[in-house]
Amino acid sequence: MMGWTDRHCRYFHRLLSRNTLLYTEMVTTGALVHGDVARHLRFNEEQHPVALQLGGSEPADLAHCAKLGEQWGYDEINLNCGCPSERVQRGAFGACLMAEPQLVAACVKAMVAVVSVPVTVKHRIGIDRTESYDFVREFVGQVSEAGCKVFIVHARNAWLKGLSPKQNRDVPPLRYDTVHRLKTDFPHLTFVINGGIATSQQMADQLLALDGVMLGREAYHNPWMLASWDHDFYGDATTGVTRESVEEQMVLYMTREATRYGTPWSTIARHMLGLRHGLPGARHWRQVWSDHRLRDESPFTVMQNAHAANQATTRSAQAAPA
């Protein structure tokens, strides 16, 4: 989700669900040790609960960055051991770390020692084409002994050679039973499943056996699905949120961000382009919000134009002969 779940995206998603735990995009330890900490870690208080996902493999660096994350107010520190991209592999972190469970355990232990918030790990069920349950069981066993109690498991292997990151989300077969078996073998640990889950019903089915479900790209492309989660999974009263109210709040947010940081509205608007996914007129609404020729207009004016385009398309469709 690098380049996707930035603080603007998370602000948008929080408008849709008050309770869902949100994750940052992966932030490398190098970016925090040598770069602009505020740029990477700044977020709005409204985003809680929110977890900081780190990428790295040096225990001391990860401990330093975990401490920074806690100081900046994050509710959880997550270590990424699931990203299969070659660029991440060259940095010796991500999914390739699963081959070194002792190193991952040392990283977790170093982070646990310096923060009071939970330290969690996101990982695959294996690497390359070897489908060995013992491999992932040993990984979870060693890492849990170092102090990790929560494992977010993408239920596919990561093929480190020959597949792009996109192909790694589709080609390796899903094996949900492997994650269920981990829960059986480690009932005292928390397991959250990820991968191939696209509907609230599928989420509910997984929650019969596991402790949680993580959605990434599906939630990004079809964000309105989040609007039912507080009611369906948290027993929260209906909030009365509508697509229109969310869009209006995003326009107010764009205005504040432009005033405070000089952030162009288009930088923020790109994250909400799926808000009307599947509705009549959605394409024209999306086109207006994506139109960089309007970049000098206020976001309020862009919203008015988007609504006009949406309504014109809807009226045209209703007037068409059957």
The domain that holds 209 is classified in CATH as 3.20.20.70
Instruction: Read off the tokens for 317.
Output: 């469709």
Q: The domain that contains 282 carries what CATH number?
A: 1.20.120
What pLDDT is stored for residue 1 in this prediction? 66
Q: Is 83 a catalytic residue?
A: yes
Domain assignment of residue 193, given as a range: 7-234
**Rounded alpha-carbon distances, angstroms, from residue 96 to 36, 141, 242:** 27, 17, 42
Residue 247, domain member (yes or no): yes
- DSSP state, 195? S
Among residues 203, 234, 265, the one where a domain terminates is 234
* 303 and 199 in a common domain: no
Residue 60 makes CB contacts below 8 A (sequence gap 6+) with 110
Instruction: Read off the tokens for 169.
Output: 């989300």
Residue 98, domain member (yes or no): yes
* 190 and 96 in a common domain: yes
Each of the 322 residues of the chain gets a pLDDT tens digit; together they read: 677 899 999 999 999 999 999 999 999 999 999 999 999 999 999 999 999 999 999 999 999 999 999 999 999 999 999 876 655 544 566 778 999 999 999 999 999 999 999 999 999 999 888 889 999 999 999 999 999 999 999 999 988 776 677 787 777 889 999 999 999 999 999 999 999 999 999 999 999 999 999 999 999 999 999 999 999 999 887 778 999 999 999 999 999 999 999 999 999 999 999 999 999 899 999 999 999 999 999 999 999 999 998 887 666 555 555 5
* 70 and 43 in a common domain: yes
Among residues 208, 234, 260, the one where a domain terminates is 234
Residue 2, domain member (yes or no): no
Distance of CA 122 to the CA centre of its chain: 11
* 255 and 113 in a common domain: no
Instruction: Read off the tokens for 196.
Output: 């191939």
* 263 and 137 in a common domain: no
* 141 and 34 in a common domain: yes
Burial state string for 49-74 with b = 16 or more CB within 10 A and e = fewer than 16: ebbbbbbbbbbebbbbbbebbbeeeb
**Rounded alpha-carbon distances, angstroms, from residue 33 to 40, 75, 92, 93, 232:** 11, 20, 16, 16, 41
Residue 52, domain member (yes or no): yes
* 312 and 227 in a common domain: no
Residue 279, domain member (yes or no): yes
Residue 265, domain member (yes or no): yes
- DSSP state, 47? G
* 24 and 111 in a common domain: yes
What pLDDT is stored for residue 87 in this prediction? 54
Which of 83, 96, 107, 148 is flagged as catalytic?
A: 83
Determine the Cα–Cα distance for residues 9 and 225; give it in Å rounded to an integer: 15
* 115 and 176 in a common domain: yes
Among residues 211, 234, 257, the one where a domain terminates is 234
Identify whether the C-beta of residue 147 lies closer than 8 Å to the C-beta of residue 109. yes
Task: Indicate the number of domains in the chain.
Answer: 2
In a 3-state reduction of DSSP, which class is residue 1?
A: coil
- Residue 132 has, within 13 A of its CA and on its CB side, a CA count of 11
What pLDDT is stored for residue 193 in this prediction? 98
Instruction: Read off the tokens for 202.
Output: 């599928």
Determine the Cα–Cα distance for residues 92 and 57; give it in Å rounded to an integer: 7
**Percent composition of the chain: helix, strand, coil (DSSP 3-state, to 5):** 50, 15, 35
* 158 and 32 in a common domain: yes
In a 3-state reduction of DSSP, which class is residue 101?
A: helix
Residue 165, domain member (yes or no): yes
Nearest to 270 by CA among 242, 301, 299: 299
In a 3-state reduction of DSSP, which class is residue 165?
A: coil
The 8 Å CB, 24+ separation contacts for 139-143 are 139/98, 139/101, 139/104, 140/182, 140/186, 140/189, 141/186, 142/101, 142/102, 142/104, 142/105, 143/101, 143/104, 143/105, 143/108
Strand pairing class (76-81; 150-158): unpaired
Residue 1, domain member (yes or no): no
* 267 and 141 in a common domain: no
* 45 and 23 in a common domain: yes
